[in-house]
Amino acid sequence: MSTETGIRQVAAFHGRRQGQGLQAHEVELGDALRSHYGHHGLVELYGRFADGDGLIDALMRRTIVAAGAKRCGQGLQVGAGAVFRHIDTFEIGGDVFIGAQAILQGRHDGHCHIGRGTWIGPQAFLDARDLFIGDCVGWGPGAKVLGSEHTGIPLDVPIIETDLAIETVTIGDWADIGTNAVILPGVTVGRGAIVGAGAVVNRDVAPFSVVAGVPARFLRWRSETDNGERHA
């Protein structure tokens, strides 16, 4: 569909695609891999198929990730070059897409939840040590979330040697995080909110609001008739 402004409007693909359940052979393969290789073996095995673009590479990536995760729904897609750390701390919903060269950095004692229908773009970086991403979230290419920072105390040692402070980051259902945006530790992005491209978000974002800028500032409500009641 074309508009008077020259904008070409087409139907969404990922958000409307029908769920694609795992085939019986994929379920059996995942069970066999988990039983035979164990966690550390699965990590090594993933590396053999991480970068290929072929059918078998894609099949093995999603099967290995599903086998290694704490929980994983059906219909997972994993792009070439995607990197996972501590996949055993991840809970992944159904019909999740993870783009090429995305990096998902968990922690051995952490927890990451990625809700169903969420789309994570290529070259995204998720500091997933304590991260909750809701259902049907759009995560733009190159967008980042940081869940921790060094305390910087004491002052007589390099900052990189000081303790890490890990803070929960929460991205509500239906939110959309723009390309190259950065979400900082402790932030909650509300349901249905839009974070503009390149924004640096250092404070909570109200549901169904639009924010942008460095640092991110409130621009408007998504609906002209919305005066903030959705935030209640």
Exposed / middle / buried, residue 149 (Cβ in 10 Å: 0-12, 13-18, 19+)? middle
Residue 113 pLDDT level (bands cut at 50, 70, 90): very high
Average confidence (pLDDT) over 37-57: 92
Report how far residue 114's alpha carbon sits from residue 95's, in angstroms, rounded to the nearest whole number: 10
Report how far residue 32's alpha carbon sits from residue 67's, in angstroms, rounded to the nearest whole number: 9
Report how far residue 199's alpha carbon sits from residue 181's, in angstroms, rounded to the nearest whole number: 5
Per-residue pLDDT reduced to its tens digit, 159-178: 999 999 999 999 999 999 99
Residue 229 pLDDT level (bands cut at 50, 70, 90): low
Pairing label, strands 148-150, 164-166: antiparallel
**Residue 83 near residue 127 (C-beta atoms within 8 A):** no
How large a percentage of the chain has pLDDT more than 70? 88
Q: Compute the mean pLDDT over every residue in the chain, rounded to the nearest whole number.
A: 90
Q: Locate the domains of the chain by residue range.
A: 22-68, 72-218
Q: Residue 24 pLDDT more than 90?
A: no
Q: Residue 189 pLDDT more than 80?
A: yes
- Which CATH code of 2.160.10.10, 3.30.2230.10, 2.20.70.10, 3.30.70.100 fits the domain covering 72-218? 2.160.10.10
pTM: 0.87
Please tell me the predicted confidence (pLDDT) of residue 232.
Answer: 46
Residue 15 pLDDT level (bands cut at 50, 70, 90): low
Exposed / middle / buried, residue 37 (Cβ in 10 Å: 0-12, 13-18, 19+)? middle
Which range among 100-104, 181-185, 186-190, 227-231 shows the weakest confidence by mean pLDDT? 227-231
Per-residue pLDDT reduced to its tens digit, 191-200: 999 999 999 9
Identity at 64, one-letter amino acid code: I
Per-residue pLDDT reduced to its tens digit, 114-127: 999 999 999 999 99
Per-residue pLDDT reduced to its tens digit, 121-145: 999 999 999 999 999 999 999 999 9
Report how far residue 177's alpha carbon sits from residue 141's, in angstroms, rounded to the nearest whole number: 9
